Structure 1
């Protein structure tokens, strides 16, 4: 039986997290990023997210197998109760249940902060190919996300056009006297 741990990411984890992400940049349209960022740039991205939101890693037997984080949905104060989520697993460990466990842990942390709406921005193929399938949308749907919108032919990578969809999940009650969210404690 494997030992599974979810914990806060640290900058010391950045090389392994970047290694996981690099596969998706170089071989898929799961991210529309063309070039793998430098370690310094990636650490800067992590630092910015960690100022307010959770950035989690999942380990199996002491090895980081994936990561997930939340970040500002739009970046204006009126949207503080909404967060966009991102998740990546090592490409060799997908479909083993780690993604669900990690995403649910992230949602629990966000709910504790007072976040009410979760959003996922997902590359979506008009026809599945070697770079992009509908797996991410199906994963989110399985976790209770519903479609919120489609942007047609908005992403271009590997010489092909791809759609992008937004999916959402409501995890809290919307009130007229909504308390402020509490930044994630690190």
Structure 2
């Protein structure tokens, strides 16, 4: 089996939708409630990759996961902070693809023209797999907000994990 990590393109939008929409429809991991169309996902990929990184993990020609970074907040002082997202096909968890993607994304962020100082990962809780992934990749839990989202009739907590990439200056 061959596994590669490569930059995403709009041609990957359909496969990415297949992964993501599973979480939209079946879990509270994503706070979206409506499926994302291939066209909308292609637009998201285009917007993100204009500034940041979006990677896909491909195993034997099948996209099994993706990771990307996007702007954390709009104010100028936040320009060196990004929010990260990692999603895996629902049938491939626990096989190391998440770690491969996250580590590759972090390396890509270090290479950007705009220096990224910190990466922030939000996790809908409970989600033991995502918590373990963040902590395995060196993130530390920095916040826990109670009942900030509501999906499927239940209130959902969100935790935030942070990884500082460069020494503070």
TM category, shorter: over 0.9
- Tell me, in whole angstroms, the C-alpha distance in 2 between the residues paired with 1:111 and 1:77: 19
**In structure 2, what is the equivalent of residue 111 of structure 1?**
110
Give how far 1:99 is off.
0.6
- Tell me, in whole angstroms, the C-alpha distance in 2 between the residues paired with 1:170 and 1:124: 22
Q: What RMSD over aligned residues (CA atoms) do the two structures have, in Å?
A: 1.0
Which of 1 and 2 has greater Rg?
Answer: 1
The within-5 A match list for 1:14-93 is 14-93=13-92
SS at match of 1:41: helix
- Tell me, in whole angstroms, the C-alpha distance in 1 between the residues paired with 2:47 and 2:25: 24
Give how far 1:77 is off.
2.2
The within-5 A match list for 1:94-133 is 94-113=93-112, 114-125=115-126, 133=127
- Tell me, in whole angstroms, the C-alpha distance in 2 between the residues paired with 1:174 and 1:112: 17
- Tell me, in whole angstroms, the C-alpha distance in 2 between the residues paired with 1:163 and 1:104: 26
| Corresponding residue to 2:144 among 150, 154, 176 | 150
| Aligned pairs, number | 167
Gaps of 5+ in 1: 126-132, 176-186
| Corresponding residue to 1:167 among 152, 161, 164 | 161
**In structure 1, what is the equivalent of residue 10 of structure 2?**
11
Give how far 1:39 is off.
1.8
SS at match of 1:68: strand
- Tell me, in whole angstroms, the C-alpha distance in 2 between the residues paired with 1:109 and 1:46: 16
Instruction: Give per-residue Cα distances to partners, 1:153-185, cap 9 Å, x unaligned.
Output: 11101111110111101111221xxxxxxxxxx
**In structure 2, what is the equivalent of residue 181 of structure 1?**
none
Give how far 1:40 is off.
1.6
Give how far 1:121 is off.
0.8
User: TM-score when scaled to structure 2?
Assistant: 0.95
Contact in 1 for aligned 2:13/2:39 (Cα 8 Å)? no
User: TM-score when scaled to structure 1?
Assistant: 0.86
